[in-house]
């Protein structure tokens, strides 16, 4: 039995009208418009949220610009660090509320959302450390005479962060970390499905001593994101979301030459060789795709099993999958909750229909769950199709739901070709006990992360991001902060 105690209704939801956070104050949209956010496990209304539009974006960007030109960027690095360390403590102290907000808004089991506490604290402390590590270089030059040259690192300015809904508070923290460390300011737009924990995070920033205007939370729909990515006074856009919207953001940012980093979708291969430790690989392959109801960009959605173990592996995988507990996200033993919304559910069920129509073999799940315990919610069984061929729709397109496509393969060479035959390149998994296979695969896979004998590992110090249509830029790691800094070269003639 799980020992997690589910906390009471979050304090933030004491008021059912949630305003956005601009210049340190919770304010409604200038239009007065609001949108609903609902609990996908029950369909219940959680709150109505200020629906920011272009004029609110402008207000938020002006607030961020004023805060950037104010004391923030001139603050000593150690002061910014102290504030960030305080923020890390506050985020941890309030994590039960933050996790509960995400559970209600997204539908992810509380047993899962609360697990994000350690990472959130670690991320903020990692970036707090980086605040005091920013350095330029002194560079020798060959100019005639006596001339010194050195470089300065300066904060890039106003950053717009545009986030998806699949890991709300974790994403807020990940986006804010390098912004604060570098001395930039932020306008962050959470996804319309999950705006709540970002608002609470914004309040905690203020409580930690982040000056008003440094972190603004702009709630709204896609048009607010579009206005933000086109705003002439935004210096950089950090986007995480779908590849389609990523393309729109690149276009919108082009006319003012904004710096852009994009973390996009994936169709990641998870590859099991016959010599793998199957006791570990079976449950890991299942959770690589089913965790968070499959709503993870780096989910291992294409499972390749070496032909000599294929039938045994798939039988064990299907048996394990049938034991996964799907249901009420507030029940401490639930492993998988609903998917985020009705449209998302319909889209996923459409992919399941396509797999059946195109001749894949259904091995587990395949249906919406209804009836007692599922009423009003968007629950889909963890679903496996085997004997999928590389040309089928579920082999190629990102589903973002609990649906696994399984294939067989024979050799390393064949496997590399097929694993890489996708427009995406976010992540990959390899299961083998052979050192040469592990190295050949990790060198050959065109993906930003290769997990060998594990899956979905993340750490503040290790870069994460995509190849190809999965985007560019790396979040986490020692170089992430470079995306928030300009380099200025200074020449001083001494003679």
Binding site for ligand NAP (CB under 6 A): 162-166, 189, 191-192, 221-222, 225-226, 229, 240-242, 245, 248-249, 263-266, 297, 398, 400, 426, 466, 471
Q: How far is CA 121 from the centre of its chain?
A: 16
Q: For residue 428, give the nearest of 387, 391, 468, 401 by alpha carbon.
A: 468
Structural tokens at position 469? 């249509």
How many Cβ atoms from other residues are within 10 Å of residue 251's Cβ? 10
Site string for Mg ion, 311-350 (x = CB under 5 A): ----------------------------------------
Q: What are the angstrom distances between the C-alpha of 397 and each of 265, 401, 424?
A: 10, 11, 10
Smallest distance, Å, CB 301 to ligand NAP? Answer: 10
Q: Which stretch binds Mg ion (CB under 5 A): 93-101, 186-194, 331-339, 476-484?
A: 186-194
Q: Which stretch binds Mg ion (CB under 5 A): 59-67, 190-198, 207-215, 356-364?
A: 190-198
Largest interatomic CA distance in the chain: 85
Dist. CA 357–CA 430, nearest whole Å: 30
Q: What are the angstrom distances between the C-alpha of 326 and each of 318, 336, 368, 468?
A: 15, 5, 11, 34
Smallest distance, Å, CB 449 to ligand NAP? Answer: 10
| Active-site position among 97, 184, 205, 297 | 297
| 381 part of the interface to Mg ion, by CB under 5 A | no
184 classed as catalytic: no
Nearer of residues 320 and 455 to ligand NAP, judged by Cβ: 455
Nearer of residues 263 and 381 to ligand NAP, judged by Cβ: 263
Q: What are the angstrom distances between the C-alpha of 136 and each of 83, 157, 342?
A: 23, 18, 50
Nearer of residues 242 and 393 to ligand NAP, judged by Cβ: 242
205 classed as catalytic: no
Smallest distance, Å, CB 448 to ligand NAP? Answer: 9
CB neighbour burial string for 104-113, b if at least 16 within 10 angstroms, e if fewer:
bbbbbbbbbb
| Size of residue set near Mg ion by CB under 5 A | 3
| Active-site position among 96, 97, 192, 263 | 263
Smallest distance, Å, CB 19 to Mg ion? Answer: 17
Q: For residue 123, give the nearest of 167, 75, 159 by alpha carbon.
A: 167
Nearer of residues 183 and 460 to ligand NAP, judged by Cβ: 460
Residue 37 binding partner per list ligand NAP, Mg ion, none, with a CB distance cut-off of 5 to 8 Å that depends on partner kind: Mg ion
Residue 105 binding partner per list ligand NAP, Mg ion, none, with a CB distance cut-off of 5 to 8 Å that depends on partner kind: Mg ion
Which DSSP category does 270 fall into? E
Residue showing tokens 């601009």: 22
Dihedral angle at the C-alpha atoms of 383, 40, 288, 397, nearest 10 degrees? 70
| 163 part of the interface to Mg ion, by CB under 5 A | no
| 37 part of the interface to Mg ion, by CB under 5 A | yes
User: Cβ contacts of residue 62 below 8 Å, gap of 6+?
Assistant: 233
Smallest distance, Å, CB 268 to ligand NAP? Answer: 10
Smallest distance, Å, CB 341 to Mg ion? Answer: 8
Structural tokens at position 299? 């989910």
Dist. CA 127–CA 178, nearest whole Å: 6
Smallest distance, Å, CB 354 to ligand NAP? Answer: 18
Dihedral angle at the C-alpha atoms of 43, 46, 52, 53, nearest 10 degrees? 10
For 66, phi and psi rounded to 5 degrees?
Answer: -65, -40
Q: How far is CA 325 from the centre of its chain?
A: 24
Nearer of residues 149 and 354 to ligand NAP, judged by Cβ: 354
Nearer of residues 105 and 475 to Mg ion, judged by Cβ: 105
Nearer of residues 265 and 329 to ligand NAP, judged by Cβ: 265
| 105 part of the interface to Mg ion, by CB under 5 A | yes
Q: Which stretch binds Mg ion (CB under 5 A): 93-101, 193-201, 252-260, 283-291?
A: 193-201
Residue 271 binding partner per list ligand NAP, Mg ion, none, with a CB distance cut-off of 5 to 8 Å that depends on partner kind: none
Q: Which stretch binds Mg ion (CB under 5 A): 22-30, 37-45, 175-183, 201-209?
A: 37-45
Cα three-residue angle 9-11-15, rounded to 5 degrees = 100
Smallest distance, Å, CB 38 to Mg ion? Answer: 5
Residue 189 binding partner per list ligand NAP, Mg ion, none, with a CB distance cut-off of 5 to 8 Å that depends on partner kind: ligand NAP
Site string for Mg ion, 401-420 (x = CB under 5 A): --------------------
Beta bridge partners of residue 38, listed in sequence order: 45
Residue 229 binding partner per list Mg ion, ligand NAP, none, with a CB distance cut-off of 5 to 8 Å that depends on partner kind: ligand NAP
| 102 part of the interface to Mg ion, by CB under 5 A | no
Smallest distance, Å, CB 470 to ligand NAP? Answer: 6
Nearer of residues 170 and 377 to ligand NAP, judged by Cβ: 170
User: Cβ contacts of residue 440 below 8 Å, gap of 6+?
Assistant: 412, 416
Residue 222 binding partner per list Mg ion, ligand NAP, none, with a CB distance cut-off of 5 to 8 Å that depends on partner kind: ligand NAP
291 with 456: CB under 8 angstroms?
Answer: yes
Dist. CA 263–CA 276, nearest whole Å: 31
* N-terminal to C-terminal alpha carbon distance within the chain: 77
Which DSSP category does 403 fall into? E
Structural tokens at position 103? 């559970």
Residues within the interface to Mg ion (CB under 5 A): 37, 105, 193
Catalytic residues: 263, 297
């Amino acid at each position: 039995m799980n020992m997690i105690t589910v906390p009471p209704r979050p304090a933030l939801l004491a008021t059912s009208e949630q305003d956005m956070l601009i210049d340190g104050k919770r304010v409604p949209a200038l239009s007065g418009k609001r949108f609903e956010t609902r609990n996908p496990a029950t369909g219940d209304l959680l709150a109505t949220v200020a629906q920011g539009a272009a004029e609110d974006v402008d207000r938020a960007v002006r607030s961020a610009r004023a805060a950037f030109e104010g004391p923030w960027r001139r603050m000593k690095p150690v002061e910014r660090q102290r504030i960030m360390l305080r923020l890390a403590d506050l985020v941890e102290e309030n994590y039960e509320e933050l996790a509960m907000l995400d559970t209600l808004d997204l539908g992810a089991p509380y047993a899962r959302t609360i697990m994000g506490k350690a990472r959130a604290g670690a991320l903020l402390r990692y970036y707090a450390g980086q605040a005091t590590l920013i350095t330029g270089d002194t560079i020798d030059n060959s100019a005639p005479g006596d001339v010194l040259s050195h470089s300065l690192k300066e904060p890039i300015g106003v950053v717009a962060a545009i986030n998806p809904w699949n890991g709300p508070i974790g994403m807020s923290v990940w986006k804010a970390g390098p912004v604060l460390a570098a001395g930039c300011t932020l306008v962050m737009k959470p996804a319309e499905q999950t705006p709540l924990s970002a608002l609470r995070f914004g309040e905690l920033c203020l409580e930690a001593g982040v000056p008003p205007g440094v972190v603004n939370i702009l709630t709204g729909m896609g048009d607010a994101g579009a206005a933000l990515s086109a705003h002439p006074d935004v210096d950089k856009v950090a986007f995480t979301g779908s590849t389609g919207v990523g393309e729109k953001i690149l276009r919108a940012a082009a006319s003012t030459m904004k710096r852009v980093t994009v973390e996009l979708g994936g169709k990641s291969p998870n590859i099991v060789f016959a010599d793998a430790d199957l006791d570990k690989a079976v449950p890991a392959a299942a959770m690589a795709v089913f965790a968070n109801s499959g709503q993870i960009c780096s989910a291992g959605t294409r499972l390749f099993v070496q032909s000599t173990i294929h039938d045994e592996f798939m039988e064990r995988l299907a048996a394990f999958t049938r034991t996964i507990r799907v249901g009420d996200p507030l029940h401490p033993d639930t492993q998988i909750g609903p998917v985020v919304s009705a449209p998302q559910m319909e889209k996923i069920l459409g992919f399941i229909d396509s797999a059946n129509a195109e001749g894949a073999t259904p091995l587990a799940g395949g249906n919406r769950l209804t009836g007692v315990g599922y009423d009003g919610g968007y629950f889909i069984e963890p679903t496996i199709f085997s004997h999928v061929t590389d040309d089928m729709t579920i082999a190629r397109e990102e589903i973002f739901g609990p649906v696994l496509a399984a294939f067989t393969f024979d050799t390393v060479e064949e496997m590399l070709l097929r694993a890489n035959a996708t427009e995406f390149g976010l992540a990959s998994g390899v299961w083998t006990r052979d050192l040469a296979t592990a190295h050949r695969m990790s060198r050959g896979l065109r993906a930003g992360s290769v997990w060998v004998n594990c899956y979905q590992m993340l750490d503040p110090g290790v870069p994460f991001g995509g190849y190809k249509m999965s985007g560019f830029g790396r979040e986490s790691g020692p170089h992430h902060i470079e995306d928030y800094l300009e380099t200025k070269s200074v020449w001083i003639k001494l003679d």
